[in-house]
């Protein structure tokens, strides 16, 4: 699972709107600050501006966050854009979050047959090659020990990938859509897909709260990424800070 090209924007507009109800813009103490960061393609530094939330604005922001969703509407205006590469089984759960999120995905339907299918096309971060997949029951009352079949060499994964790659190649050779349909039909849920996602800090608060104790390790990676966002501790996870 990967998170790339993360962008966070509109802090300035969101905090200005935060002060609209009491017309307290004159109390705002946030500002833009220029800093120098290492250029990713060289050994030199380049200027970059960063929005710094002042202590007065932060105090109001935290109080509004703690007051409930109807008071922290400004969080919906702090936007996040990120490219997430994750398995299909995780995307199925993420798709429950429709309000306030938008996604553009790489097309499985259009591009599935265009590149070779290898193990790297699947989520294998916590893959256990020694896991017992199933056991053969005793054949008679004298067989006390069933035979266990495991995946010690990754053989089962290799067989699955071989079959998928065969179908892909046959489709490209023949253009027979039956091969393409079988490839789509049997594609495992571990297939990695990249989507460009836009959402906001209020979405992130809800998602991270609901998925904090989920069994899927991908949700823990998502929450770890959310912790890296600007002012995440104060605005997304501020209830944890209060504890």
Give per-residue pLDDT as tens, 56-95.
999 999 999 999 999 999 999 999 999 999 999 999 999 9
CB 50 within 8 A of CB 41: no
Return d(Cα 206, Cα 236) in angstroms, integer. 9
Cα–Cα distance measured from residue 215 to residue 64, given in angstroms and rounded to the nearest whole number? 32
* pLDDT for 54 beyond 50: yes
Average pLDDT over every residue of 188-204: 94
Task: Give whole-number Cα distances, 77 to 46, 156, 172, in Å.
Answer: 28, 47, 46
Q: State which of 21-30, 117-126, 184-193 shows the largest mean pLDDT.
A: 21-30
Residue 21 clears pLDDT 90, i.e. is over it:
yes
Entry pTM? 0.83
Cβ distance 183 to 164 under 8 Å? yes
- How would residue 127 be classed by pLDDT, with cut points 50, 70 and 90? confident
Give yes or no for a contact between 171 and 180, defined as CB atoms under 8 angstroms apart.
Answer: yes
pLDDT at residue 90 in the model: 96
Distance CA(25)–CA(235), nearest Å, equals 20
Token pair, residue 173, equals: 């050779």
CATH class for the domain made up of 2-107+195-242: alpha beta
The residues of the chain that CATH labels 3.30.1360.170 are 2-107+195-242
Left (φ > 0), alpha (ψ -120 to 50) or beta: where does 181 sit? alpha
Which tens digit of pLDDT belongs to each residue from 92-118?
Answer: 999 999 888 999 988 776 778 888 998
Q: Which of 92-96, 150-154, 232-236 has the lowest mean pLDDT?
A: 150-154
pLDDT at residue 242 is higher than 50: no
């Amino acid at each position: 699972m990967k998170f790339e090209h993360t962008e966070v924007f509109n802090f300035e507009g969101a905090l200005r709107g935060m002060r609209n109800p009491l017309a307290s813009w004159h109390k705002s103490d946030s500002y833009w600050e220029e800093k120098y960061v290492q250029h990713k393609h060289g050994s030199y530094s380049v200027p970059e501006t960063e929005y710094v939330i002042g202590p007065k604005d932060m105090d109001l922001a935290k109080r509004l966050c703690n007051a409930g969703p109807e008071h922290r509407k400004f969080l919906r205006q702090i936007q996040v854009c990120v490219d997430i590469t994750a398995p299909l089984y995780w995307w199925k759960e993420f798709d429950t979050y429709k309000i306030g999120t938008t996604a553009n995905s790489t097309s499985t339907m259009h591009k599935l047959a265009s590149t070779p299918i290898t193990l790297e096309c699947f989520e294998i971060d916590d893959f256990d090659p020694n896991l017992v997949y199933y056991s053969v029951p005793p054949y008679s009352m004298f067989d006390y020990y069933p035979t266990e079949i495991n995946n010690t060499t990754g053989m089962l994964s290799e067989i699955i990938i071989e079959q998928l790659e065969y179908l892909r190649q046959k489709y490209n050779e023949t253009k027979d859509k039956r091969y393409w349909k079988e490839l789509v039909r049997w594609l495992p849920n571990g297939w990695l897909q990249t989507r460009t996602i836009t959402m906001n800090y209020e979405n992130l608060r809800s998602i991270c709260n609901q998925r904090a104790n989920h069994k899927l390790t991908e949700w823990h990676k998502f929450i770890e990424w959310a912790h890296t966002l600007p002012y995440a501790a104060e605005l997304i996870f501020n209830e944890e800070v209060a504890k």
